[in-house]
Structure 1
Amino acid sequence: MKEVTIRGVRPEDLDRIAEIEAICFPATEAAPREAFKERIAAFPESFLVAEADGIVIGFINGCVTNSPVIYDELFHSTQHHIPDGKNLTVFGLNVIPEYRRQGIAAQLMNHFIQLAKNTGRNSVILTCKDRLVHYYESFGYVNNGISKSTHGGAQWFDMTLTL
């Protein structure tokens, strides 16, 4: 396995991040380039990338909120980001296919959880599809059931990791 570095996002990562998002999510669920441009500007401190040989191969990002669950408007506007909020969200955890099953997503998640702890958050929250509930439970997340989120027309489950 190649050596992977986890680091904070940089503005010049934008095009690669948009490319990775389009690879990892169906078009109905993928965030557009403009959304990532806004997220990088609004909350770079909660946007991490994984890099191998100087190339971004994955990322994790999310805003901060006082809501105990992710609601759809969070995905669409950085106006809902509350810098001193209680909960760090996970909007997406993406790793390109050729680097999957090597623990890179886990490295990103573990760094993100540590970031939440270091910044005094109460929890990390996310939504995921049924097939990924078990994966997130392996980090200590608790499944809170079917989410009210209908992002991309999919069914999601609310997950909470209490810190």
Structure 2
Amino acid sequence: MKHTISALVRNRPGVLAELALMFKEEKLNIKSIAAGETEDPEVTRLVICLDAEGGEVELVTEKIAGMDWVLQVDDLARKEFVDRELLLVKVRMDRENLTQLMQIFEVFRASVVGMGQESITVEMAGDQERVEGLVKLLKPFGIKSLCRSGMIALKRGDE
């Protein structure tokens, strides 16, 4: 089952390494991780996505919460949240498929950020399903390179 863990941590060196080591010790694979400062430069928000059973995630969440540099931790799997991921993708392009590619980009609200003689580079931000949908549609054209930021997420509402 997919889980999304959001943690507010003190912004200090080594936090990400300690967290990764803890996941390794628990034999859990991190699917994506995003980290960045919050409105307070002393605090970083980490968003970690992983596939794991509920009990495993509960144990890891408790271990994270017990670390001295953690201010708050939430398993967002059971809560309403807003998520986004940034995608940059370079696709093979020629005269025959340019119109079709541009239509796909328009449907997904992807923006062209670079163009060469034989390729086109686009960016798109969206939830994971939308990003995966665009990637699936572009595969037959020939993806030359691709980079995903990993998911970022916040709880919905006033919490």
* TM-score, length of structure 1 as denominator length: 0.25
Structure having the larger proportion of residues in helix: 1
Q: Which has the higher relative contact order, 1 or 2, with Cα contacts under 8 A spaced 6 or more apart?
A: 2
Structure having the larger proportion of residues in strand: 2
Q: Whose radius of gyration is greater, 1 or 2?
A: 2
